[in-house]
Amino acid sequence: MPTRKRPSLLFVDDEERVTNALKAVFRDTYDVATASGGEEALALVKERPFHVIVSDQRMPGMLGVELLREVKLLRPTSVRMLLTGYSDLAAIVGSVNEGEVFRFVSKPWNQDDLQATIGEAVTIAIALEASPPPRASVRPVQDVVALVLDDAAMARAVREMAGDLCRVVHALNLDDALHALAVNEVAVILADLESHRVDNTVLFKLLKQEHPQTLVIVTTSRSDSELIISLINEARIFRFINKPVNLSLLQTHIVSALERYYTFKQSPELVGTQRARSSAAARESSLGQSILDKLKSITTRLTGSFRG
């Protein structure tokens, strides 16, 4: 009987002590390769696929974000993670928008947490590898909704951009948002992170646990790196847009979100790859418990289609 091939990891860091430490932790469980920079890593990725690629951000020659953007094009089923010892908001936002980074891991890392995160990433990569290539394309579907939270100006802009690709619903507050989720097929949510009417951070963290097929795009002017990292790791935000909002970029991200949503409809098994890790803090707050109860009670006519 042939030996089952072990999942493969690639760690990229210009500090040899870091790659050696990571290799020592994971080599008994996975097939581990290392690279000292972006060009070396790309050469390896072109030769063979890796299930998970973990790259440092600040490296000479090529930043981690740039590497992971190239990896996404070369090996779209790989799961990409950014490892860094500093909080650079531009790099964090870029890691999501350009490289679709799964998790942001800070140095020094917690070994147990990193092992759990790598295990989760490998499971997702195997599911992506086994799925058929996406066939989605954006087409007019009036039953699909883009839900805009609070921001009236954004709601008007999204209506103009969306045309007949989807309906646009504007929710003024949290109750409106939860009602809209209950009665509509919401493909994408757009929100201003600084909204004073909707506690977006709690909603998003719980939403991606209960309804992972819905994509979230946020706009922000905040420089709170810790908050952005928590939203990447716990709420699986699809795209970030810095304010003032570039409307052309916003339109591109909306179309990308709709394309991803249609891919989920065609391949429901992929929905599980979007589910966020359970956030105890979000669940245990009184607001979080109220939101969670309402999300659990939401049933739509397409719920069964997204049991991935």
DSSP codes, 187-235: EEEEEETT-SSS-HHHHHHHHHHH-TTSEEEEEE----HHHHHHHHHHH
What ranges do the domains of the chain cover?
8-130, 144-306
- Other C-beta atoms closer than 10 Å to the C-beta of 113 total 12
Can you give the pLDDT at residue 301? Answer: 44
Supply the pTM of this predicted model.
0.79
Residue 53, H or E segment:
strand 52-56
Residue located via tokens 């839900």: 147
Residues 74-102 as b or e (16 or more Cβ within 10 Å = b): ebebbbbbbbbeeeebebbbbbbbebbbb
> Residue 19: what pLDDT?
95
Q: Return averaged pLDDT per consecutive 10 residues of the chain, 308 residues in all.
A: 76 95 95 96 96 92 90 92 73 74 84 91 87 57 82 88 87 89 91 76 84 89 76 85 86 88 82 72 71 72 50
| The pLDDT of residue 23 | 95
Q: Check residue 190 and give its pLDDT.
A: 94
Distance CA 186, CA 208 (A): 13
The dotted CATH code for 144-306 is: 3.40.50.2300
Amino acid at 196: H
CATH topology of domain 8-130: Rossmann fold (3.40.50)
What pLDDT is attached to residue 49?
A: 94
* Helices 174-183 and 200-210: angle between axes, nearest 10 degrees: 20
Listed residue (247, 257, 277, 226) closest to 92, CA to CA: 226
Is the Cβ–Cβ distance between 112 and 149 less than 8 Å? no
Is there a contact between 103 and 117 (Cβ–Cβ < 8 Å)?
yes
pLDDT on residue 306? 57
Count CA within 13 A, CB hemisphere, residue 160.
8
CA-CA distance, 305 to 167, in Å (whole number)? 20
Question: Tell me, what's the pLDDT at 308?
Answer: 46
Answer for the pair 96, 253: CB distance below 8 angstroms, yes or no: no
Domains 8-130 and 144-306 share a fold: yes
What was the pLDDT predicted at 280? 65
DSSP per residue, 117-158: HHHHHHHHHHHHHHSPPP-------TTEEEEEES-HHHHHHH
